[in-house]
């Protein structure tokens, strides 16, 4: 056992840091540090900068743009990206639909979609959940009926993250209502400009707009947009959801957020003493750091074990990473909110793509305070989506414990 990275790995890390420093606009980095949203254009620009360097999709097969890095290097890259911090690549494209396409899709689909995903020419969103089908995803009802060389899609998806920017949506649809529920589902790629698709925004409790309802009313989808085989969509979906091992814990991100906690806690004062110097606060922060260190070690054990893993087999360790990772992200948002004290209260709408015309008023209280309570509210989502923490515990009970 040896905790140290090799000199080559350390050099690799330095190379990545240098690239991030030189290529990510400082303004974007500062936005993320402040807890604000970066714009669509900023993510597009950043993705393209990575793509020019050949780093937009390191984990993909090399023939489609992957770097061929080993798991340790993949991990170093991701954690550096999070702790820099730089905008994470849009997950719906590079981490979700692309692996499904390069693993199960036709050559035609690979050629058509993968390069555009890597360059963020197409913005993808995920159409899995429905109003009646969240944790019980396999009960989904959106129907696709084959008519000649098209499917006619009817139904509704919901919680579609950033669907307002999307060019494409990948959907689970029911193609065989008579079959057992997991066996009548197909995986369809749908152009968002197709007639019959409407989007309704859902405002989240932090005041933001990141999710939508998507309605399908007699939407014509070419049969060529079916991925893999009809009625095998559930297998692809399981594959997709099991693909998140390397990133799901977001250790790098939480590290960066804890740096921010320290920074703000040195600015906030309790009388003559910076908050960071009060024993209570230090202990609280230390307790979270200990848990994060443990999670980092767990993540590294998983990364190191990747070499010996059977390809494509879901790993129940993913659930451990998801549960602890989400809890720590949430705890960190609580710390950030608690740090700013009474100035957590004012609500200051954030200037963004959807509201570019907000008057440029001075901040209310310290300029760092406004995003903190919304950040706390918003991050309640991380224990709900992507398989809720209750469902993750269910998986541990079944897959690890055999209960």
Partner 1 sequence: MDFDLTDEQRLLKDSVERFVADRYDFERRKAFLAAEGGFSRENWAAFAELGLLAVPFAEEDGGIGGGPVETMIVMEAFGRGLVVEPYLPTVILGGGILRHAASAEQKADLIPRIAGGEITLALAQIERGSRYDLHHVETRARKDGESWIIDGEKGVVLNGDTADTLIVVARTAGTTRDADGIGLFLVDAKAPGVSRRGYPTQDGLRAAEITFESARAEAALGDPGKGLPILARVVDEGIAAICAEAVGVMDRMRDLTVEYIKTRKQFGVPIGSFQVLQHRASDMVVAIEQARSMACYATMMAAEEDAAARGQAVSAAKVQIGRSGRFVGQQAIQLHGGIGMTMEYSIGHYFKRMTMIETLFGDADHHLEKVAAGESLFAA
* List 95, 109, 119, 126, residue binding ligand FAD (CB under 6 A): 126
Strands 269-270 and 273-274: antiparallel
Question: Is the CB of residue 154 less than 8 Å from the CB of residue 217?
Answer: yes
Q: Does 142 bind ligand FAD (CB under 6 A)?
A: no
Residues that bind partner 1 (CB under 8 A): 129, 132-136, 139, 158-159, 202-205, 207, 211, 268-272, 280-281, 284, 330, 334, 337-338, 341-348, 364-366, 373-374, 376-378, 380-381, 383-385, 388-390, 393
Is 209 buried (19+), middle (13-18) or exposed (0-12) by CB count in 10 A?
A: middle
Question: Is the CB of residue 214 less than 8 Å from the CB of residue 190?
Answer: no
Pick the closest to residue 189 from 172, 175, 174 (CA basis): 172
Residue 33 or 391 having the CB closest to ligand FAD: 391
- Please say if 296 is a catalytic residue: no
* List 385, 395, 396, 399, residue binding ligand FAD (CB under 6 A): 385
Pick the closest to residue 214 from 96, 122, 97, 124 (CA basis): 124
Cβ at position 397, least distance to partner 1 in Å = 10
Residue 27 or 283 having the CB closest to partner 1: 283
Q: Does 164 bind ligand FAD (CB under 6 A)?
A: no
**Pick from partner 1, ligand FAD, none: which does 343 bind, CB < 5 to 8 A by kind?**
partner 1
**Pick from ligand FAD, partner 1, none: which does 139 bind, CB < 5 to 8 A by kind?**
partner 1
Cβ at position 240, least distance to ligand FAD in Å = 11
Q: Does 381 bind ligand FAD (CB under 6 A)?
A: yes
- Residue number closest to ligand FAD, CB atom: 134
What count of other Cβ atoms lies within 10 Å of the Cβ of residue 153?
A: 24
Q: Does 128 bind ligand FAD (CB under 6 A)?
A: yes
**Pick from partner 1, ligand FAD, none: which does 304 bind, CB < 5 to 8 A by kind?**
none
Catalytic residue among 244, 289, 296, 306: 244
Residue 279 or 402 having the CB closest to ligand FAD: 402
Residues 6 or more apart whose Cβ sits within 8 Å of residue 28? 38, 42, 46, 86, 87
Buried b (16+ CB within 10 A) or exposed e, 155-175: bbbbbbbbbbbbebbbbbbbb
Tokens representing residue 245 in the block: 């091992």
Residues 244-263 that bind ligand FAD (CB under 6 A): none
Cβ at position 293, least distance to partner 1 in Å = 23
Residue 60 or 92 having the CB closest to partner 1: 92
Buried b (16+ CB within 10 A) or exposed e, 31-59: bbbebbbbbbebbbbbbebbbeeebbbbb
**Pick from ligand FAD, partner 1, none: which does 93 bind, CB < 5 to 8 A by kind?**
none
Q: Does 129 bind ligand FAD (CB under 6 A)?
A: yes
**Pick from partner 1, ligand FAD, none: which does 126 bind, CB < 5 to 8 A by kind?**
ligand FAD
Cβ at position 219, least distance to partner 1 in Å = 23
Cβ at position 270, least distance to partner 1 in Å = 6
> Could you give the CA distance from residue 111 to residue 303 in angstroms, rounded to a whole number?
30
What count of other Cβ atoms lies within 10 Å of the Cβ of residue 359?
A: 5
> Could you give the CA distance from residue 319 to residue 188 in angstroms, rounded to a whole number?
27
> Could you give the CA distance from residue 128 to residue 174 in angstroms, rounded to a whole number?
11
Pick the closest to residue 47 from 12, 75, 87, 8 (CA basis): 87
Interacting stretch for ligand FAD, rule CB under 6 A, among 58-66, 128-136, 268-276, 292-300? 128-136
Give the residues lining the site for ligand FAD (CB under 6 A): 126-129, 134-135, 159-161, 211, 381, 384-385, 388, 390-391, 394
Residues designated catalytic: 244
């Amino acid at each position: 056992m040896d905790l140290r990275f090799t000199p080559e790995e350390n050099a690799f890390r330095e190379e990545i840091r240098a690239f991030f420093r030189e290529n990510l606009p400082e303004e974007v980095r500062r936005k993320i540090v402040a807890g604000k949203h970066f714009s669509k254009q900023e993510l597009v620009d950043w993705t393209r900068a990575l793509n020019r360097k050949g780093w937009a999709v390191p984990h993909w097969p090399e023939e489609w743009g992957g770097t061929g890095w080993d798991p340790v290097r993949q991990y170093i890259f991701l954690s550096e990206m999070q702790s820099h911090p730089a905008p994470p690549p849009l997950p719906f494209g590079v981490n979700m639909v692309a692996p499904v396409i390069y693993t199960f899709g036709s050559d035609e689909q690979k050629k058509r979609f993968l390069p555009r995903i890597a360059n963020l020419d197409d913005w993808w969103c995920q159409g899995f959940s429905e109003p009646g089908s969240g944790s019980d995803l396999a009960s989904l009802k959106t129907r696709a009926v084959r008519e000649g060389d098209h499917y006619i899609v009817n139904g509704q998806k919901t919680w579609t993250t950033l669907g307002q920017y999307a060019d494409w949506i990948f959907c689970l649809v029911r193609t065989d209502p008579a079959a057992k529920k997991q066996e009548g589902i197909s995986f369809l790629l749908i152009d968002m400009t197709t007639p019959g698709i409407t989007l309704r925004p859902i405002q989240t409790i932090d005041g933001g707009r990141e999710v939508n309802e998507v309605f399908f009313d007699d939407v014509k989808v070419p049969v060529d947009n079916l991925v893999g085989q009809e009625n095998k969509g559930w297998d692809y979906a399981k594959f997709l959801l099991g693909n998140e091992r390397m990133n799901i814990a977001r250790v790098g991100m939480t590290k960066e957020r804890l740096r921010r906690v320290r920074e703000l806690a040195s600015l906030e004062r309790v009388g003559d003493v910076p908050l960071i110097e009060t024993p209570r606060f230090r202990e609280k922060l230390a307790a979270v750091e200990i848990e994060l260190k443990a999670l980092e070690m767990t993540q590294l054990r998983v990364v190191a074990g990747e070499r010996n893993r059977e390809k494509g087999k879901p790993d129940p360790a993913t659930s451990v990473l998801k549960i602890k990772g989400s809890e720590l992200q949430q705890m960190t948002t609580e710390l950030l909110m608690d740090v700013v004290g009474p100035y957590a209260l004012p609500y200051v709408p954030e200037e963004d793509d959807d509201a570019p015309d907000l008057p440029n008023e001075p901040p209310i209280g310290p300029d760092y305070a406004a995003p903190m309570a919304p950040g706390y509210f918003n991050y309640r989502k991380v224990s709900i989506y992507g398989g809720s923490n209750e469902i993750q515990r269910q998986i541990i009970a079944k897959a690890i414990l055999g209960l």
